Amino acid sequence: MECKNCELKQRRFYCENCLRTHLRDFRHRTAHASAERDDQVTKASRALTSVEGARLRRADLVSSQERLQEVMGALTKLKKDNDKARERLRSLRETLATRRRNLAAAKLLPSTPLDNLISRQTQDLGALSDTIARARSGLIQELVEVFHVVEVGGRPPIGGKAGTKGEWTIGDLVLPVPGDIRSIPIFPHIFSICLCHDTGYPPDHINAVITHTIHFLGLLSFYLGIKLPFEITWSERKLGVGQPSIGAIRGGESGSWAKWFSKQPLHVSSSPAPPNSSPTLPSTPLLTSESFIDANTSSQSSFTTAFAMLLYNVCYIAHTQSVDVPLSQAGDVLSNLWAVCCSPDLGRRSHETHPLLAPPTPSSFPLDFAQLLQATTATPASRARIKARRASGSGTAPRSQKRHEKIPEEDDGWDLVEDAADGSFG
């Protein structure tokens, strides 16, 4: 090295001779690397030339697989479209076949008189109605036998002599008329007084016979398909037995019953009264039925209203089966139900089957609930009291046998009272 600068450690500067030397060495190395590179490129080209066919075949295979997948997807979509088209075509064919049948039937109509067709359909409907009515009558006959609704102690007129009315029973229990029911003792500690001087029906008897009547009326209305204006519900279950209450369903203004929607207890209490809650009784030696009614509590009035609702249901179901029940006979519950079960038109009209009845109660139903409630809250001469007075006058039959005596045919003593201004009672 002739250059002193090149001998320095920093080597920041090169002289011209050093640069020529470095460039010569770099070109020599580069030329050697270029020769090796060209040799490798030549070898690689020869190798690629030998595998070019296989590579192209693989590329074509991949491309073909991709195209195949696209075709399969399009085929699946086409199949779905074809299935939809077939379903629509099937529906159109069925519609076309139905139209052709209807058209063929329509072409045949002129050959058959329209009146004959209507008459035939009417006959078929009448036959179906008769079948339904017979089925309902059979069910109701079995219902009467199960509940054993009978009249005991009466006889028909014989030899010009007037007949006698007996007492109607359901489940071998006598259902008293409204006058007897209103006079039952509400407080057990005065039961013995009322038993001696009134009807002799304890609260348990009244509750039992009313429960039987409720079940009978419910099944009867179910078999006939009749919707009653007053609905009965059960509450306060004790040992599996509930207490019935009754109230109006939704209805119109006809009959003035729809406003009595509040539930009224359709049972009498037989539980002992508290020691300090005894009612104030008149200061008379004996408690008569009239004085007992005056001494009753508001619970008796609610029960009377509920019992009037039950009577209204019976009168309405009788009206639907072409049985006319006048207001003076509305209190004979079991007798009216028996008349319904013996009606020749039993089961022909219903709220469930044709011909459909109007919702309760139509204007053709003449009974007004306010009049029935007034008649129920009146003081009629009940059969049991008439019987008791006659037996006590003769002094022949004991109390236990008075209920089974025959009594003459008499009016129940229902008093018709004009409606109040507002129509609300109880």
CATH no. for residue 261? 1.10.418
| pLDDT tens for each residue of 309-366 | 999 999 999 999 999 999 989 989 999 999 999 999 898 889 988 878 888 999 889 9
Percentage of residues in the chain with pLDDT exceeding 70?
Answer: 67
Q: How confident is the model at residue 396, as a pLDDT?
A: 39
Percentage of residues in the chain with pLDDT exceeding 90?
Answer: 35
Task: Round the average pLDDT of the chain to a whole number and report it.
Answer: 76
CB neighbour list of residue 196: distance below 8 Å, 6 or more residues apart: 399
Is 329 within a domain? yes
Amino acid identity at 302: S
DSSP β-ladder status, 264-265 and 241-248: antiparallel
CA–CA dist 283, 176 (Å, integer): 28
Residue 228 sits at the vertex; the CA angle it makes with 357 and 325, to the nearest 5 degrees, is 80
3-state class (DSSP) for residue 91: helix
Q: How confident is the model at residue 238, as a pLDDT?
A: 55
Is 108 within a domain? no
Is 280 within a domain? no
DSSP β-ladder status, 230-238 and 241-248: antiparallel
CA–CA dist 304, 267 (Å, integer): 10
pLDDT band at 92 (very low <50, low <70, confident <90, very high): very high
CA–CA dist 250, 227 (Å, integer): 11
Of the candidates 292, 269, 271, the residue with the CA atom closest to the CA atom of residue 282: 292
Contact 314, 337 (CB under 8 A): yes
Asked whether residue 213 carries a pLDDT value surpassing 50, the answer given is yes
Asked whether residue 144 carries a pLDDT value surpassing 70, the answer given is yes
Is 260 within a domain? yes
Is 70 within a domain? no
Asked whether residue 16 carries a pLDDT value surpassing 90, the answer given is no
Q: Which residues of 388-412 are buried (b: 16+ CB within 10 A; e: fewer)?
A: beebeeeeeeeeeebbebebeeeeb
Contact 317, 219 (CB under 8 A): no
Of the candidates 278, 310, 288, the residue with the CA atom closest to the CA atom of residue 213: 310
Is 34 within a domain? no
CA–CA dist 401, 31 (Å, integer): 149
Q: How confident is the model at residue 270, as a pLDDT?
A: 65
Residue 118 pairs in a beta bridge with: none
Q: How confident is the model at residue 124, as a pLDDT?
A: 85
Q: How confident is the model at residue 223, as a pLDDT?
A: 94
pLDDT band at 162 (very low <50, low <70, confident <90, very high): low
User: Span 183-205, mean pLDDT?
Assistant: 50
Residue 304, classified by CB atoms within 10 Å of its CB into exposed (0-12), middle (13-18) or buried (19+), is buried
User: Span 293-297, mean pLDDT?
Assistant: 43
Least confident of 30-34, 175-179, 204-208: 175-179
Q: Which residues of 332-346 are buried (b: 16+ CB within 10 A; e: fewer)?
A: bbbbbbbbbbebeeb
| pLDDT tens for each residue of 99-136 | 999 988 877 766 556 677 778 888 888 888 889 999 99
Angle between helices 298-320 and 203-224 (to 10 degrees): 30
H-assigned helices in 225-332: 289-295, 298-320
Q: Which domain holds residue 146?
A: 132-153+166-182+200-269+296-377
CA–CA dist 40, 102 (Å, integer): 90
> Cα dihedral angle (238, 244, 249, 252), rounded to 10 degrees?
-160
CB neighbour list of residue 205: distance below 8 Å, 6 or more residues apart: 173, 174
H-assigned helices in 246-364: 289-295, 298-320, 333-341
Contact 310, 246 (CB under 8 A): yes
Asked whether residue 259 carries a pLDDT value surpassing 60, the answer given is yes
Asked whether residue 177 carries a pLDDT value surpassing 90, the answer given is no
Q: How confident is the model at residue 209, as a pLDDT?
A: 93
Question: How many domains, the chain?
Answer: 1
| pLDDT tens for each residue of 237-251 | 654 568 899 999 998
| pLDDT tens for each residue of 41-69 | 888 888 878 777 788 888 899 999 999 99
Q: How confident is the model at residue 74, as a pLDDT?
A: 94
Is 305 within a domain? yes
Is 58 within a domain? no
Asked whether residue 289 carries a pLDDT value surpassing 90, the answer given is no
Q: How confident is the model at residue 414, as a pLDDT?
A: 41
Q: How confident is the model at residue 277, as a pLDDT?
A: 41
CA–CA dist 158, 152 (Å, integer): 17
Asked whether residue 291 carries a pLDDT value surpassing 60, the answer given is no
Of the candidates 185, 221, 189, the residue with the CA atom closest to the CA atom of residue 205: 185
Contact 245, 235 (CB under 8 A): yes
DSSP 190-222: GHHHHHHHS----HHHHHHHHHHHHHHHHHHHH
